[in-house]
Structure 1
Amino acid sequence: MKSIKGILFIILIMSGSAFLWYFATPLEPIHAINRLSHIIGGMAITGFFLVFFLATRIKILERWFHGLENVYFYHKYLAIFSLLLVIIHGQLQGLVPRFDKVERTSFSEFAKELGSLGQYGFIALILIALLAKFLKYEHWRIFHRLLLIPYTFGIYHAYFSSRYDLLQPTPLGIFTVITATIGFMSALYMLTMYQDMFFKYNGNITGIKKLGPNVIELELTLDKTLTYRHGQFIFIKILQDGIEKAPHPFSISGGDGKKVIISMKVLGDFTKKVYDAVQLNTPVTLDGPYGHLNFENASQQQVWIAGGIGITPFLSYLQSQPVDRNIELFYTYHGEDNAIYKDFLQEYAQTNQQFRVNFIDTAQMDRLSFEHFSVPVHTSIFMCGPQKMLKHFVKQLKTCNKDLSIHFEAFKFK
């Protein structure tokens, strides 16, 4: 499904910023290049307000963008777009004719210098964020959150180096103070209060089961019931010495709310440490649930596609109740060691005629393809797995079935 509400929200805010800057009246007449520079600089500050606001993970944003992975997608590219606006703003300021430049006080000169520092800070930190795959998650988060510093410099620069009086209660002044305040508070909230306010489910690890050489299942017993929908995921912090304290997302693969089961595959430093060293009775804390997969509200005819550890959100539904609709599952993995819960799925298919499962081991056969796959009318498609794989499948399925209803959860949160 498309992120229509979310996209409209971004367009409305960004176009509103451009409109207000364009029609605002400067303190005195200025050159057209200077005016354009102010408009672009104002849009850059607005763009970074949206970047920080999207990072708060509030539930309404997840609904508007139809999934947290889509929120992060727009968060990332808004940051890149806003950085480009900052650079263009700086270049345009260098083209402003000398006669249009006013004599600066030490106060405004300081604001100008902060603006330059903010620009360099944005460039450095966003480039580091784009190199996420080369960083440990905890280090990436630290650099990511340092964006608050150049953002603060940028706000100060906008207020005290601008040829517009943003301190007056004009439409532009009101818009700027609201967006700057929300942006700053959003960033500050993620730095300080998020860990305490949103991680409100506490518990302990009461079960550990290694499902293979690189997959582990954890049973979490909570102090209060977590109400979730099958197919959703949580962010978990494992509070054990030697294990990174940063929250990580994992799909719920089973449980009843009081007990929650998650399954994780070794894909990095964090999951490797958990697999090797996690202990029983270790305290945990959870945030969530998140996710938009909703098997119950979909059609009676469903096709499920899972890649590797992407089988986990489907397990929650299968283990909770007998299937009451026609479901065909395509489960692709590389090597038998990665075919977790295969025995369970085989037994389930044998005892329930409405459920069929296809196992695709890419170590022994060709990769799964839906290039010529015909989907019956009124069929809902659910997918979970690596982002690149899912995009490939969506493209294939849409080629033959343009009006198909496809729901997916992709593995990519940095």
Structure 2
Amino acid sequence: MKKSVLAVLALLAVLTALWLAALAGADANAGGNFWALRKLAIYYTGIAALGCMSAGLLLATRPAWADRLLGGLDQAYRLHKWLGIAAVSLGAAHWLIKLVPKWLVAQGWLERAAHKGGRGAESWLDLLRKPAESLGEWAIYLVIPIVLLALWKRFPYRPAFLLHRVLAGTYLVLVFHGAALMPPAYWLTPLGAVMAVLMAAGSWGAALSLAGRIGARRRVAGRIVALRPHPGSGVLEVECQLDAGWPGHAAGQFAFVTFGRGEGAHPFTIASAWRDDGRLSFAIKALGDYTRALPQQVAAGDALTVEGPYGRFDFAGRGERQVWVAGGIGITPFLARLEALAAAGGSRQPVDAFYCTAAADPGFIARLRQLAEQARVRLHLRVTPQDGLLTPATLAEALGGKDGVARSDVWFCGPAGFGRALRHGLAAQGLPAGRFHQEAFEMR
């Protein structure tokens, strides 16, 4: 979260600096009375909100460069979320600065601004101002609740997906609003050039979203070849055969899987190593309405679409040893890594894998032990109802104390709260900065 917030602040700092530079030629003589300052505040909040929203729409297209630059698509989506929060906050401020003084005038608590004389013949841009103002106001009424609902994790996935489509269309209205109402003098400054690029990029992202083409170039069709349910842990393994076109993947990556058009794509971690044969497996935990109903809705032979691969959970570290910690379904990326290591003859460095689960399925545990043995990985099974939670102190003790912790790279996948506790606790135990690796698999 910290990096995402800093990135948003950096974007706002750039837009603020460009806006201040643009003032020298555009509004230097605007005066210092309340109404002049209000006008400047309206311009600033509108530009900042539209800039953040444009960057967010661009990231929503899942560009490959963002995956590389930001260290994984999970980080791009985290930044996308904070850009949305910033855009809504600034948009609300823009709306309030515009309307509240008018309400105060209507109540007689504020003196109306003095109107200047006639403006002469109206240009084509002047003719667009009224519709741009009206459409922009109604767009703000839509954007604020849409973004808040999309950020609410308990809001169902499918409606949230559809709301993003509505948001894309609303964004195009806001682009018209901003382009028509931004002072013409601003367009002749570096601020105008940057905003033009941002709005063009955001509009392209919105168009892809409305057309259902986000990630289209990375989609590969296939079919389900086997389903293996694990009732003890509530996990369904789905093995599929993809058509030609899948570029291959590394252990730890994930993909968006579409089992049916009615629901749309869901992100799942790939649970198998790549063998250049088009075969992929996913381990899907029954965590919500959709995943709970999935075993009754899919069957061997059904068609599906897989988009990816994405992610940077790549097991590349500088430590002498690796420590893997999996909580529940967080074991999935480690399954793929175990398969890859087993196929390569085993790990060439010490690896300790801690699997924490509330429900140990015997068949799955037997397979996990076999894979760990073939991969030369030391497996530590921790069934939490009888063994208790894995704590930083317990983990440090298993690694031989602070010296063992300091020589390790820790790879974690599991509940976010569990990860935060381990990260802070292991830092206190001597884990060097940058040696705790965790992918934020939440897409919102």
TM-score w.r.t. the length of structure 2 is 0.83
Paired with 2:89 and 2:162, the residues of 1 have a C-alpha distance of 22
Paired with 1:84 and 1:3, the residues of 2 have a C-alpha distance of 18
Is contact 1:132-1:140 (8 Å) kept? no
Partner of 1:32: 37
The worse-fitting range, judged by mean Cα deviation, of 180-189 and 317-326 is: 317-326
Segments of 5+ residues of structure 1 without an aligned counterpart are none
Paired with 2:309 and 2:82, the residues of 1 have a C-alpha distance of 25
Note if 1:369 corresponds to 2:391: yes
Paired with 1:8 and 1:409, the residues of 2 have a C-alpha distance of 18
Query: Deviation at 1:384?
Result: 0.9
One-letter code aligned to 1:190: S
Change (3 A) 1:153 1:98: farther
Q: 2:415 aligns with which of 376, 382, 386?
A: 386
Paired with 1:264 and 1:201, the residues of 2 have a C-alpha distance of 19
Partner of 1:294: 314
Partner of 1:122: 143
Paired with 2:178 and 2:440, the residues of 1 have a C-alpha distance of 38
Alignment of 1:212-223 (within 5 A): 212-213=231-232, 214-223=234-243
Paired with 1:188 and 1:166, the residues of 2 have a C-alpha distance of 28
Deviations along 1:93-140, one digit per CA (max 9) or x if unpaired, are 3448743666896642222222211221111211221323132x1111
One-letter code aligned to 2:199: A
Paired with 1:302 and 1:60, the residues of 2 have a C-alpha distance of 28
Note if 1:412 corresponds to 2:438: no
Paired with 2:331 and 2:304, the residues of 1 have a C-alpha distance of 23
Q: 2:204 aligns with which of 185, 188, 203?
A: 185
> What is the root-mean-square deviation of aligned Cα atoms in Å?
2.7
Note if 1:200 corresponds to 2:200: no
The worse-fitting range, judged by mean Cα deviation, of 327-336 and 9-18 is: 9-18
Change (3 A) 1:347 1:197: closer
Partner of 1:145: 165
Query: Deviation at 1:8?
Result: 6.9
Q: 1:341 aligns with which of 351, 356, 364?
A: 364
Partner of 1:175: 194
Paired with 2:19 and 2:338, the residues of 1 have a C-alpha distance of 54
Partner of 1:50: 55
SS in 1 for 2:162: helix
Paired with 1:370 and 1:10, the residues of 2 have a C-alpha distance of 32
Change (3 A) 1:127 1:100: farther
One-letter code aligned to 2:169: I
Is contact 2:61-2:214 (8 Å) kept? no
Query: Deviation at 1:27?
Result: 7.2
One-letter code aligned to 2:418: M
One-letter code aligned to 1:398: A
Structure 1 or 2: larger helix share? Answer: 2
Partner of 2:18: 20
Is contact 2:45-2:90 (8 Å) kept? yes
The worse-fitting range, judged by mean Cα deviation, of 66-75 and 93-102 is: 93-102
The worse-fitting range, judged by mean Cα deviation, of 175-184 and 11-20 is: 11-20
Deviations along 1:199-231, one digit per CA (max 9) or x if unpaired, are 432211111111225211111111124411111
Paired with 2:129 and 2:57, the residues of 1 have a C-alpha distance of 26
Structure with greater Cα Rg: 2
One-letter code aligned to 1:344: R
SS in 2 for 1:286: strand
Is contact 1:370-1:393 (8 Å) kept? yes
One-letter code aligned to 2:415: P
Paired with 1:107 and 1:323, the residues of 2 have a C-alpha distance of 66
Paired with 1:56 and 1:212, the residues of 2 have a C-alpha distance of 36
Alignment of 1:231-310 (within 5 A): 231-239=252-260, 244-255=262-273, 256-257=275-276, 258-295=278-315, 299-310=319-330
Paired with 1:90 and 1:391, the residues of 2 have a C-alpha distance of 37
Query: Deviation at 1:26?
Result: 3.0
SS in 1 for 2:385: coil
Partner of 1:326: 350
Paired with 1:250 and 1:161, the residues of 2 have a C-alpha distance of 43
Change (3 A) 1:351 1:156: closer
Partner of 2:105: none
Determine what percentage of the aligned residue pairs are the same residue.
25
Deviations along 1:309-366, one digit per CA (max 9) or x if unpaired, are 11111111212322222111111111224x77311232345566x5211111122232
Query: Deviation at 1:270?
Result: 2.2
One-letter code aligned to 1:99: A
Provide the aligned length of Structure 1 versus Structure 2. Answer: 405
One-letter code aligned to 2:113: F
Paired with 1:252 and 1:62, the residues of 2 have a C-alpha distance of 17
SS in 2 for 1:194: coil
Query: Deviation at 1:168?
Result: 4.4
Query: Deviation at 1:187?
Result: 1.8
Deviations along 1:12-44, one digit per CA (max 9) or x if unpaired, are 432222222222233794312321321121111
Change (3 A) 1:141 1:98: same
The worse-fitting range, judged by mean Cα deviation, of 42-51 and 294-303 is: 294-303
One-letter code aligned to 1:336: A
TM-score w.r.t. the length of structure 1 is 0.88
Change (3 A) 1:277 1:111: closer
Paired with 2:163 and 2:297, the residues of 1 have a C-alpha distance of 27
Q: 2:77 aligns with which of 65, 72, 80?
A: 72
Change (3 A) 1:196 1:384: closer
Is contact 2:251-2:334 (8 Å) kept? yes
Is contact 1:145-1:191 (8 Å) kept? yes
Change (3 A) 1:330 1:169: same
The worse-fitting range, judged by mean Cα deviation, of 89-98 and 294-303 is: 89-98
